[in-house]
Amino acid sequence: MSISDRALKLQSAPSAIMLGHQKWSEDPFSKQNPLGILNFGIAENHLLNDLIIPKINQNVNLCAEHIQYNTLYGLEEVRKTVAIFFENYLNLKNVQAENIIIQSGLSCICESLSFSLFDQNDIIMIAAPYYTGFEHDFTKRFGCEFLKVPLKTSNKFEHEISSFITTYQNHPHPEKIKAVLITHPHNPTGEKLSYTFGQKLIDFCLKNDLELICDEVYALSSHTKASHQSLYQLAIDANVKAHFLYGMAKDFALAGLKVGFYLSPDMQLTESLKNVSYFHPVSTQTQLLVANILSDTHFLDTLICENQKRLASVVAKIRNELPQFSFLSYDAGLFIILNLSSYCQNFADEQDLFNYFLNELKINFTAGQDMSFQEPGYFRVCFAKEKGDISEFITRMKTFKFKPKEQK
């Protein structure tokens, strides 16, 4: 045997999202390859290239201290800039730079948190459906487990505290449940969690001594001009043990830079993440580039406003030009949910439908079963694409002629 058992285990269970991405990478759609695969399965933002690329190509002023080994969890000057940004744009309060960790992407932050906060077989409650990458980020290497809280189809998968309470009470070993993981706005539905639900969730965490992990990476990717109301800040105000996750990949269309942020008032845990950052540092040049963006309030105001306007415009275009399809109605994120449940009696039908999209229409989506939807027929459509991709997507969707096997 040439590799370890743990490497074999990880290799045998690749992320569903990356499988579709790999298929696309072998035959990507482009002007030069017009019959290639459209990749609507990865939550990337391609709508801001004209604004963000000139900004990141501005000069970064490096000095002697920046080209040697430095603070592995983030330059102090950069963490101070991030703290101000959190307060001014994400509505957090009294953020201290020493409570911020910077690592090479939010996946690294999640895995570092899993390493530092959970022991093997500890349990994290998570609303289902959820971003399938969390399986890799939290559970694969360090052995904690997810307890899925089913969101109801009848309620358009909106978060309800009753589902959390019932799931917790029905678990045979509630003492192993240590935390709740929430994405706000939600991935994959795009739901912005209500203040009422947030308060009820906080009460639930307090009552059961649970920690709250708040992934707010889509905070500024609203399709409206509504300001972001941070669940993390609500939790901190109520003295819940809370953890804040954010990054540059979504709101800033900078997934390739691999920059993620962690914030918590828990200094013992923060010290642990500082130690783990030895394995996940971000280059000083990239950090300074990020600081240039986050300190430029005029640029931020323009970028955020334009991002929200463009996201809303693409969603409206898809809905208007594809009225024969049903999409869930939420207003945040880089994705919408396509409801094709009428074509699927079971998840085998959903897999057939996924294969039809990928192999015949040549569109890559994320299938509902891979995101732990409780019923078949729901697909995540990552729509924040360039105009040519959107037009081609609409053209191909208009040729949709799928029939389940029993109807053929």
The verdict on pTM exceeding 0.85 is yes
Q: Does residue 384 carry a pLDDT above 80?
A: yes
Q: Does residue 80 carry a pLDDT above 90?
A: yes
- Local confidence band at 10 (pLDDT 50, 70, 90 cut-offs): confident
Give Cα separations from 292 to 34, 97, 236, 299 (angstroms): 37, 17, 29, 10
Q: For residue 160, count other CB atoms closer than 10 A to its CB.
A: 16
- Sheet with strand 177-183: strands edge to edge: 100-103, 260-263, 242-247, 211-215, 177-183, 123-128, 145-150
Give the C-alpha separation, 199 to 221, whole Å. 23
**Contact status, residue 16 vs residue 7, Cβ threshold 8 Å:** no
Amino acid at 261: F
Give Cα separations from 227 to 109, 185, 224, 304 (angstroms): 25, 12, 9, 11
- Report the range of poorest mean pLDDT among 21-35, 82-96, 325-339: 21-35
Q: Does residue 405 carry a pLDDT above 90?
A: no
Q: Residue 137: which of 165, 118, 153 has the closest Cα? A: 118
* Residue in this structure with the two tokens 């459906």, named with its chain if needed: 129
Give Cα separations from 335 to 108, 199, 254, 365, 373 (angstroms): 23, 26, 17, 10, 16
Residue 372, token pair as written in the block: 């732990």
pLDDT in tens, 266-321: 999 999 999 999 999 999 999 999 999 999 999 999 999 999 999 999 999 999 99
Domains, the chain: 5-51+299-407 (3.90.1150.10), 70-295 (3.40.640.10)
| Residue % of the chain over a pLDDT of 90 | 88
Backbone angles phi, psi at 170, to 5 degrees: -85, -5
- Local confidence band at 1 (pLDDT 50, 70, 90 cut-offs): low
- Local confidence band at 408 (pLDDT 50, 70, 90 cut-offs): very low
pLDDT in tens, 326-375: 999 888 999 999 999 999 999 999 999 999 999 999 999 999 999 999 99
Average pLDDT over residues 103-110: 97
Residue 291, token pair as written in the block: 């600081």
Residue 359, token pair as written in the block: 């192999």
Range list of β-strands (E), 76-135: 100-103, 123-128
pLDDT in tens, 109-135: 999 999 999 999 999 999 999 999 999
Q: Does residue 12 carry a pLDDT above 80?
A: no
- Report the range of poorest mean pLDDT among 18-22, 67-71, 148-152, 237-241: 18-22
Give the C-alpha separation, 144 to 178, whole Å. 10
* Residue in this structure with the two tokens 């920046």, named with its chain if needed: 66
Please list the residues that pair with 326 across neighbouring strands. Answer: 339
- Local confidence band at 403 (pLDDT 50, 70, 90 cut-offs): confident
Residue 222, token pair as written in the block: 């609203």
What 8-state DSSP symbol labels residue 48? Answer: T
Q: Does residue 407 carry a pLDDT above 60?
A: no
Chain-wide mean pLDDT for the chain? Answer: 95
pLDDT in tens, 229-260: 999 999 999 999 999 999 999 999 999 999 99
Give the C-alpha separation, 165 to 56, whole Å. 46
Give the C-alpha separation, 100 to 77, whole Å. 12
Give the C-alpha separation, 18 to 16, whole Å. 5
pLDDT at 329: 86
pLDDT at 294: 98
DSSP readout, 214-232?
EE-TTTT-BSSSPPP--HH
* Residue in this structure with the two tokens 């998840």, named with its chain if needed: 347
